[in-house]
Amino acid sequence: MARNLLRKHHDRRRQWATSAERLAVLAQEGDVADQVSERRAALEALATLPEHEAEAVILASWYGLGPAEAAQVAGCSARAFTVRLHRARRRLADALSLTRTTLQEQR
């Protein structure tokens, strides 16, 4: 009987800790509108990239493929894919910065 009480007590503490962690994550995420505007900015910036560079970003970031796997899908060597991804990320960062500035000015 005492063991069951202790087990239940520990289970409740674990559940409380898990709930508290989930709430902390939700509190950090902020306003949903901010997430929507960030997503919009990211999609607009991605749309400015040439098709082969957008494909590189999507294969690496969205699908989580490594250079060898992504290169096979893209039809190039792993080295060429790595260079393509590097250039794409640099252009995406520039485009994202510009898109965010434009969206802020529209508000």
DSSP letter assigned to residue 75: T
Give the model confidence (pLDDT) of 16-61 as tens digits.
656 556 656 655 666 656 667 788 888 888 898 999 999 999 999 8
Q: What is the pLDDT of residue 39?
A: 82
The pTM assigned to this predicted structure is: 0.61
> Cβ distance 91 to 40 under 8 Å?
no
Whether residue 12 is predicted with pLDDT greater than 80 in this model: the reply is: no
Tokens of 70: 């992504």
Q: Which amino acid is at 9?
A: H
Chain centroid to CA 98: how far?
19
Q: What is the pLDDT of residue 27?
A: 58
Whether residue 78 is predicted with pLDDT greater than 80 in this model: the reply is: yes
* Architecture of the 31-106 domain: Orthogonal Bundle (1.10)
Tokens of 55: 């494909």
